[in-house]
A and B are shown apart, each in its own frame.
Chain A
Amino acid sequence: MTLIASIDTDACLAHGDCVEVAPQAFRVDDVAVVTGETTDERMLAAARACPAGAILLYDADTGAEVDA
């Protein structure tokens, strides 16, 4: 499986935990933005680390939302 991320910008409060966990995949400006890819493991860790629950993960093959 390959996980892709998107940010719920209404929920994101720019905590920055995603950048801590997966600096290749996220950057925080006004709110977090997805800048690249990383391993599924790190994507899951980033989504779990987000205190606002603002990272949505999808299976790149099926498009189905994946729960972290």
Chain B
Amino acid sequence: MTSGLLIVGGGLAAQRCCEVLRAAGDDRPITIVGAEPVRPYDRPPLSKTVPAGDVCFRPAEWYAERAIELRLGLAACGLEPGRRVVALADGSRLPYDQLLIACGATPRELPALGGFANVQALRTLADAARLASALAGGGPLAVVGAGLIGLEAAATAARMGVEVTVIEAAPRPLAGILGPRAAAWLTALHRACGVVVRTGTTVAAAREGRAGAWAGRAVAPEESGATNVRRLAEPEESGATRVRHVEALELSDGTRVACAHVLVGVGVRPATGWLAGSGLDPAGVLVDEAGRTALPGVFAAGDAACRPDPRTGRPVAGGHWESASREGAAVAAALLGRPARPAGPPSFWSDQHGIRLQCVGDPRDAEEVLAHGDLAGDCFELDHLRDGRITAVLLAGRPPSALRAARARLHVPHIPVRSAA
């Protein structure tokens, strides 16, 4: 009796691994253990559209017909690699022949905003439902963090007519990815669509509304005198059971941002704490190109996995949708004894205010050179140059053929265009 493949985590990497295995005719038993009570689903629509429709990858029959067992709403809590067993939160223990750790990541939290009923992250379907209901109640919405999730959610909210303020500690949005030119364009786009963008400032304190004033309405201005301000260093109130509600954020630059709801999008960390004591790093599992970990028969993919950064050599966790997709498929290839498809350049896409933004390659620390169109027209290509080579191309509002052409010119030495005399 074989135990087959056990997949901890029911997200994209898990789904891709199953898809590739079954498409190849591999019929080993597969069990997916997912912490969320939902079949594997696609996360990008959660921040891109208002009411996410059915985002599940496949209907329940798809799994049943392919002998893929789904154990949902159940978290893993321990790994015993010597016995090849994973312990689950309900006390059961599942054996495996091969294990894929694809349990994803958990949103980072801000200590200043902990414990408030109207503060949330956006990672899961449940988070999306909660945000949709908050947005339906009007605003204003404060978004802390101008990353992809925060910006997309801000764009979605603005489209619904909700007043939105985005607060970012770095001097510009998407600072870890985009250069100053693209970021300035993106900031202008959001502002033109009514989003207030405040960069270079942080949340210094959360102003708490009156107890009981939380139920779907903001505290009326005349009531706001009876508030207290909770400072960053203040410890959690112990034993407090009343529902606490933020009515405004006080920023480090002295600005006060009124809010009925707060979305925190300040990054994620691998949800791999359950691996403590297993021999794998509970801060994120280091893998090779095929997704293999240091333990025999154990693989990792997606946001739970760490890989060496090609530029710095330092292990970095996670990535975007496309890396999770590739890595899940790469693990399947390794299980099939096939060479993995050659990893293409890193890429991501984003939809904001009706404009599709696409990026191929690594745009960090590069010079941005306009290769097509103009930024003011929201239709352009920015080549990113480092050491005389195109390391990335950022495209906005461009057709699919332009994306293919951009992919083809990566790493090609850049030939400066002579300006017309």
A15–B42 Cα distance when bound, in Å, is 9
Decide: A30 and B23 in contact? CB cutoff 8 A: yes
Given A29-B19, A48-B400, 20 more pairs with CB closer than 8 A: A11-B404, A13-B326, A15-B321, A16-B57, A28-B19, A29-B23, A51-B356, A51-B358, A52-B403, A53-B358, A53-B400, A53-B402, A53-B404, A53-B407, A54-B400, A55-B400, A65-B401, A67-B400, A68-B399, A68-B400
Decide: A51 and B407 in contact? CB cutoff 8 A: no
Instruction: Count A interface residues, CB 8 Å.
Output: 21
Contacting A at CB under 8 A, from B314-371, are 321-322, 325-326, 329, 341, 344, 347, 349, 356, 358
Instruction: Count B interface residues, CB 8 Å.
Output: 25
Decide: A68 and B325 in contact? CB cutoff 8 A: no
User: Which one of A14, A15, A65 has the highest number of Cβ atoms from chain B below 10 Å of its Cβ?
Assistant: A14
CB-nearest residue of chain A relative to B403? Answer: A53
A65–B16 Cα distance when bound, in Å, is 30
- Is the contact region of chain B dominated by helix, strand, or loop, or is it mixed? helix
Confirm or deny: B268 has a beta carbon within 8 angstroms of a beta carbon on chain A. no
Q: Which residues of chain B are within 8 angstroms of A8 by Cβ–Cβ distance?
A: 404
Decide: A67 and B349 in contact? CB cutoff 8 A: no
User: Which one of A8, A28, A52 has the highest number of Cβ atoms from chain B below 10 Å of its Cβ?
Assistant: A52
Q: Which residues of chain A are within 8 angstroms of B326 by Cβ–Cβ distance?
A: 13
Within the complex, which residue of B24, B347, B399, B404 is in contact with A30, where a contact is CB–CB below 8 Å? Answer: B24
User: Which one of B16, B19, B321, B400 has the highest number of Cβ atoms from chain A below 10 Å of its Cβ?
Assistant: B400
Contacting B at CB under 8 A, from A7-30, are 8, 10-11, 13-16, 28-30
A14-B325, A30-B329 are known contacts. Are A53 and B24 too (CB-CB below 8 A)?
no
Contact with A along B7-37 (1 / 0, CB 8 A): 0000000001001100110000000000000
Contact with B along A20-62 (1 / 0, CB 8 A): 0000000011100000000000000001101111110000000
Q: Which residues of chain A are within 8 angstroms of B399 by Cβ–Cβ distance?
A: 48, 67-68
Q: Which residues of chain B are within 8 angstroms of A29 by Cβ–Cβ distance?
A: 19, 23
User: Could you list some 11 contacts between A and B, CB below 8 A?
Assistant: A10-B341, A13-B322, A30-B20, A48-B399, A52-B403, A53-B401, A53-B403, A67-B399, A67-B400, A67-B401, A68-B399
A34–B347 Cα distance when bound, in Å, is 24
CB-nearest residue of chain B relative to A55? Answer: B400
- Is the contact region of chain A dominated by helix, strand, or loop, or is it mixed? loop
Decide: B403 and A13 in contact? CB cutoff 8 A: no
Q: Which residues of chain B are within 8 angstroms of A14 by Cβ–Cβ distance?
A: 16, 19, 325, 329
